[in-house]
């Protein structure tokens, strides 16, 4: 089996010196797999994945957090080459939801032994996401968090708390217009969540999904439009699933979000980008082949 392994050099295990290209090649060779390993900056990942596919590899393995997975998935979606995952990020939502081992040795063993299954991906204005896309209060917090990590070298969680304290007091509400199936709904909110398949909406299982092949995006728009209401939503989420009580919900294969703003900050699988409205969301059913454990429920 000939594969390409693409690792984000900003991954913590790379930065700490726990892994390097030679050690990864050796680990895959022990499993009977010839691996062409690339440890590269994030802005080179997509081009490297495209070159690997053009070169005829049998799989492309992405090593990093959910943002790295998303980048490689965007190249592989719609094609026959499967995605393998080495969960080297902090949270690794995609891997955990799918039962992919978070232990590096076990994740490497899975690549030649796993089964390939086709999963849905989401897409907004041409950008693929494998987990979720968020609007409102969260993207500016992530942007501020990442800036503090770069400039101050802060721990991710400390930077997140610091960023939230700076962003939330001056956070404006977001006016959105959701258009789907010929109908339009306007809302004033602080939080819009678009999930690739259905998510639990409470603090203890947030991010958990039990299927990846419904062919639907799950759109949640928080009913609160005040900062106090947002705080109450967070408190309620500590004790119960708030999806049915605190959100307007739609389950759709595609929809459009309009905004009065000329540009919106859009969170996609751990990273933030700017997009011009309208935001055209759609699902791409069973577009992404992924190497999974045989017992994975999808």
Same domain membership, residue 230 and residue 152: yes
Average pLDDT on 43-65 reads 97
pTM summary value: 0.89
Cis peptide before 278 (omega within 30 of 0): yes
Same domain membership, residue 73 and residue 50: yes
Q: Which residue from 101, 61, 97 is spatially nearest to 82, judged by alpha carbons?
A: 61
Q: Which residue from 228, 227, 220, 231 is spatially nearest to 255, judged by alpha carbons?
A: 220
Percent of the chain with pLDDT over 90: 64
Domain that holds residue 34: 2-114
In a domain, 291, yes or no: no
In a domain, 122, yes or no: no
CB under 8 Å to 140, separation ≥6 — which residues?
167, 171, 265, 272
DSSP 44: G
- Indicate the range of 4-13, 76-85, 104-113 predicted with least confidence: 4-13
In a domain, 227, yes or no: yes
Q: Give the residues across from 249 on adjacent strands.
A: 220
Which of 47, 80, 114 is the C-terminal boundary of a domain?
Answer: 114
Higher confidence at residue 259 or residue 145? Answer: 259
Distance CA 264, CA 278 (A): 9
In a domain, 170, yes or no: yes
Distance CA 6, CA 40 (A): 7
Same domain membership, residue 138 and residue 36: no
Is the confidence at residue 238, as pLDDT, over 60? Answer: no
Cα torsion 176, 128, 273, 8 to 10°: value is 150
Same domain membership, residue 97 and residue 211: no
pLDDT tens profile 149-192: 888 778 777 887 787 778 777 778 899 999 998 899 999 998 89
State how many domains the chain has: 2
Same domain membership, residue 235 and residue 90: no
Same domain membership, residue 146 and residue 82: no
What DSSP element (H or E) covers 53?
Answer: helix 45-54
Q: Which residue from 294, 289, 298, 296 is spatially nearest to 57, judged by alpha carbons?
A: 289
Same domain membership, residue 133 and residue 279: yes
Q: Which residue from 119, 68, 96, 91 is spatially nearest to 271, judged by alpha carbons?
A: 68
Indicate the average pLDDT of the chain.
Answer: 88
In a domain, 109, yes or no: yes
Say what the pLDDT of residue 151 is.
82
CB under 8 Å to 126, separation ≥6 — which residues?
none
**Count of CB atoms situated within 10 Å of the CB of 24:** 22
In a domain, 252, yes or no: yes
- Give, to the nearest 10 degrees, the angle between helix 66-76 and helix 45-54: 40
Distance CA 243, CA 298 (A): 22
């Amino acid at each position: 089996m000939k594969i390409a392994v693409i690792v984000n050099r900003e991954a913590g295990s790379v930065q700490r010196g726990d892994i390097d290209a030679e050690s990864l090649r050796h680990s895959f060779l022990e499993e009977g797999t010839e691996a062409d390993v690339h440890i590269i900056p994030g802005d080179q990942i997509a081009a490297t994945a495209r070159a690997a596919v053009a070169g005829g590899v049998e799989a492309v393995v992405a090593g990093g957090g959910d943002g790295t997975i998303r980048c490689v998935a965007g190249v592989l979606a719609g094609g026959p080459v499967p995605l393998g995952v080495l969960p080297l990020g902090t949270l690794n939502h995609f891997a955990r939801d799918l039962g992919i081992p978070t232990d590096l040795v076990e994740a490497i063993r899975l690549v030649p032994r796993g089964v390939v299954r086709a999963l849905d991906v989401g897409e907004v204005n041409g950008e693929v996401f494998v987990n979720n896309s968020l609007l409102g209060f969260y993207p500016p917090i992530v942007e501020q968090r990442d800036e503090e990590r770069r400039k101050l070298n802060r721990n991710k969680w400390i930077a997140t708390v610091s960023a939230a304290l700076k962003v939330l007091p001056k956070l404006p509400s977001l006016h959105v217009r959701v258009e789907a199936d010929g109908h339009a709904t306007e809302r004033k909110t602080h939080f819009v969540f678009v999930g690739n398949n259905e998510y639990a909406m409470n603090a203890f299982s947030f991010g958990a999904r039990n299927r990846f092949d419904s062919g639907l995006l799950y759109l949640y728009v928080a009913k609160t439009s005040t900062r106090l209401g947002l705080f109450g939503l967070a408190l309620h989420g500590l004790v119960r699933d708030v999806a049915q009580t605190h959100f307007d919900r739609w389950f759709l294969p595609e929809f459009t979000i309009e905004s009065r703003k000329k540009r919106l900050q859009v969170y996609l699988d751990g990273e933030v980008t700017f997009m011009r409205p309208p935001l055209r969301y759609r699902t791409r059913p069973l577009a992404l082949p992924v190497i999974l454990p045989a017992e994975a429920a999808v």
